[in-house]
Amino acid sequence: MQGRKILAKLQAYKVQKTEEELKKKYGTEKIIKLNANENPYGTSAKVLQSMKEIKDISKYPDGYCMQLREALAKKYNISKECFLFGDASNEIIQMITKAYLEQGEEVITSIPGFSLYESATIMQEGKLVGVPLKDDKLDLEGILNKISDKTRIIFITNPHNPTGTIITKEEQEEFIKKVPKEVLVVIDEAYYEFVCNKQFPNSIELLNQYSNLCILRTFSKAYGLAGLRVGYGIASPECIRILEKVKNPYNISVIAQKAAVQALKDSFMEETVEKNKKIVKAVSLELEKLGMEYCKTEANFIFINMEMEGKEILEAFLKEGIMVRVGYPNYETWARVSIGTEDQMKEFIKVLKKIRKVM
């Protein structure tokens, strides 16, 4: 039995081999994961304790995520009707294309960018329009020039993945002003907690002005809850009501809701961000000493020109027990490297120097 014809345009998401499989294949004692932008410090002890306190999981979870909804409404000082929750941001991206995209309509995003924007578009039989980066940043003018009467959604990632660069408050506001009201602007802020630049926009402030704005955030990165898959969208109540029509019922587990609420209460996230800031500075300095091209990052990863092809990069680092991410259109010799602990990044720099010596 065959699946839908549209699936011929898609490939399954490729998950790398497990750490145990890689250790066995490459004969290394350990694997340092610098490929998935996970929190290298794990998860808050208070969050883990809150999960242990759950006594009963025999009933369905709160489908409205009321405690989490109220906690976020208080944090951002906006109505609790402005939130939508998903199985990470991935599910919300799929909700957006299901709710807003008709067959043949267009979605605009940057290239390179998050691969799910494309797959979610294809599944709704839409067309993805890619706009290359300009000086390693989002080309907002280029995106505006691609808007047509078929454009329905624009996906913006800020900070951008994989470069870690940002668009400023002024740039974002000028951009949204020029987007037609019937086009939904989705700003994916998965890494916003890590941003230190004071010119980074507070997108929530724009919600009252623009009903065609939707912001995506997640607990996977700075909060260290990637294994629980909790993401949320912030938009006008009208937009949220539309998206809820395509939301799966009870999509956030009891455990995930409890953990996310607790994560908002303690200082673990702020401590992670401070450590990340310090280590980014140290790694950037080492790259400059080596004379390597890289993007100045505002996230928990750094994008580096390794001056060799993607497969060579992967193999060279895996032989030394380090996982990095490659395979970005227009950046074939670049690798995205997650910012690990201080010791992990010292090992990364050590291996990087070794690889460069044999190039």
Of the candidate CATH numbers 3.10.310.30, 3.40.640.10, 3.30.565.10, 3.30.365.10, the domain formed by 45-263 belongs to 3.40.640.10
Predicted local distance difference test score (pLDDT) of residue 14:
78
The CATH classification number of 5-43+268-357 equals 3.90.1150.10
Sorted by where each begins, the domain ranges of the chain are 5-43+268-357, 45-263
d(CA 113, CA 116): 9
Mean pLDDT of the chain, nearest integer: 97
What is the DSSP secondary structure assignment for residue 200, as one 8-state letter? S
Q: What is the pLDDT of residues 119-138, one digit of tens each?
A: 999 999 999 999 999 999 99
To which residue do tokens 């940002």 refer?
Answer: 166
Rg of the chain in Å (alpha carbons): 21
> Percent of the chain having pLDDT more than 90?
92
Burial readout 12-35 (b: 16 or more C-beta within 10 A, e: otherwise): eeeeeeeeeebeeeeebeebbbbb
Provide the CA 318 distance to its chain's centre, in angstroms. 24
**Cβ 221 vs Cβ 88: under 8 Å:** no
Query: C-alpha angle with apex 266: 199 to 278, nearest 5 degrees?
Result: 50
Predicted local distance difference test score (pLDDT) of residue 358:
63
**Cβ 128 vs Cβ 122: under 8 Å:** yes
Is the confidence at residue 359, as pLDDT, over 70? no
pTM for this model (two decimals): 0.95
